[in-house]
Chains A and B, each alone.
Chain A
């Protein structure tokens, strides 16, 4: 495979084929763990780790896995890495583990991870699958961090640092950066931190993305029409010039 293809498999998952915003996969964790930015970052890290590992292993074993039972094989590979991640998170980041709760186990049935194994890793080489895993991992992490940022800043009114990643503040209490809520003022929208707020924020973000896409498509159509009209006008002008020339002769 050429270099540009490597780049393509890496970049495509971040924007053009973002797993959450474009393919609409993995909505469950995107709603459940986006109450705080830290939890979203932690989820994104665990997710990326599992995705990269499973992509590499599935791709390395793609010639040995019989097609008939491919999906169960992928699920077992993914479940193995999820078990690994679960134990590591429980040992090194217990706060993160308890914040994410069942959703670490639910990585096993995450549509994005299984989807990448089926659609990409089972058909491509190890290096490409690795890059695809990293790209999609970054894309998903960015997407859930964006949603978490909206929900935490507008909903809670503050950005909390050190609640999930306790090592950032050592022994001290978590730091809260006041934005919409501070001493003497509070303009935060509490509803956004509730489950309903999760659906609302994701729906609005998707609508904004759709609006941008629609606007781009419209602009492209208008541009094409203008270019066509311009070409037509030029052709007419050329014809007229030709006719004038002939008349002169």
Chain B
């Protein structure tokens, strides 16, 4: 029971208190790039979440049962990026076979998941902070939920932003970053929960 509570608390902490985008700054490129398309943002979020989860599940045993016993823990980054790249390929093939319509709607975002910092960021963070398996898993689940939440909410705001009358110099990315700043302030308010 204690484990379960700790696990759930860790998920809350990683998803809301230390939100992947507005507090840890992973995956901002995709965050800003997807822009004001709610549907693409949501499907991108789901795909990234899936890859984060799988990558964590695969990379944890690879690091602890392969790289460390072999005496080459410094190869972690290289191994992780290979695992992630293969994983994205496999997930792409799987989606293509099972649901061609989803594959079409994800389109160019699929290959971009490989270079999404959120995936490599979570996996590297788990290794760097020496987290145990359950905490790593909580980090992965929390980060995925946080990413999905932040990118969808952000896309919704940006839909409204496009029709808003912003100053000419702020049009496009600058105002989007200001909005992200306001979102970050909102998430900062949640930091009290962590203590």
Q: Are chains A and B native binding partners rather than an unrelated pairing?
A: yes
Q: What CA separation (Å) do A111 and B112 show in the bound complex?
A: 10
Q: How far is the CA of A197 from the CA of B25 in the complex (A)?
A: 12
Given contacts A83-B78, A108-B81, contact A198 B169 (CB under 8 A): no
Assembly CA distance A194 to B25 (angstroms): 12
Give the docked Cα–Cα distance between A198 and B10 (Å). Answer: 26
Given contacts A86-B77, A102-B125, A195-B188, contact A111 B115 (CB under 8 A): yes
What is the interface residue range for chain B against chain A?
A: 35 or more
Question: B131 contacts the other chain (Cβ, under 8 Å)?
Answer: no
Closest to B19 in A: A195
Q: Are A200 and B181 in contact (CB under 8 A)?
A: yes
Report the bound CA distance from A101 to B77 in whole Å: 13
Taking CB atoms, residues of chain A closer than 8 Å to B23 are 195
Q: Are A109 and B115 also in contact (CB < 8 A) when A80-B78, A208-B169, A214-B168 are?
A: yes
**Residues of A close to B177: CB separation below 8 A:** 199-200, 202-203, 206
Decide: B81 and A203 in contact? CB cutoff 8 A. Answer: no
A31–B117 alpha-carbon span in the complex (Å): 13
Complex interface: chain A residues within 8 A of B125 (CB): 102
How distant is B102 from chain A, measured CB to nearest CB, in Å?
23
Q: A76-B82, A106-B120, A199-B184 are in contact. Are A207 and B170 (CB under 8 A)?
A: yes
Chain B residues near A111: list those with CB within 8 A.
29, 115
| Residues of chain B within 8 A of A45, CB atoms compared | none
The A144-183 residues at the B interface (CB cut-off 8 A) are none
Given the known inter-chain contacts A24-B32, A83-B78, A195-B22, please indicate yes or no for A101 contacting B128, CB distance below 8 A: yes
B46 sits at the interface (CB 8 A):
no
Of the listed residues B117, B170, B182, the one surrounded by the most CB atoms of chain A closer than 10 A to its CB is B117
User: For the complex, would chain A's binding face be called helix, strand, loop or mixed by DSSP majority?
Assistant: helix
B25 touches A198 (CB 8 A): yes
Q: Would B85 and A25 count as touching, CB distance under 8 A? A: no
How many pairs of residues, A versus B, come closer than 8 Å at their CB atoms? 125
Nearest-neighbor residue (CB-CB) of A206 within chain B: B174
Cα-based distance from A111 to B115 in the complex (angstroms):
7
Chain A interface extent, by class:
35 or more
User: What is the interface of chain A, defined by CB distance below 8 A to chain B?
Assistant: 24-28, 31-32, 71-72, 75-76, 79-80, 82-83, 86-87, 101-102, 105-106, 108-109, 111, 114, 191, 194-200, 202-204, 206-208, 210-211, 214
CB-based nearest A residue for B23: A195
What 1/0 flags go to B29-40 for Cβ under 8 Å of A? 100100000000
Cβ B169 vs Cβ A207 within 8 A: yes
B63-109, CB < 8 A from A: 74-78, 81-82, 85
In the complex, how many angstroms separate the beta carbon of A114 from the nearest chain B beta carbon? 6
Interface string of B131-142 (1 = CB under 8 A from A): 000000000000
Contact A86 B26 (CB under 8 A): no
CB atoms of B169 and A214 under 8 A apart? yes
A102 touches B116 (CB 8 A): no
A residues less than 8 Å from B85 (CB atoms): 72, 75
Chain B proximity of A63: nearest CB distance (Å): 23
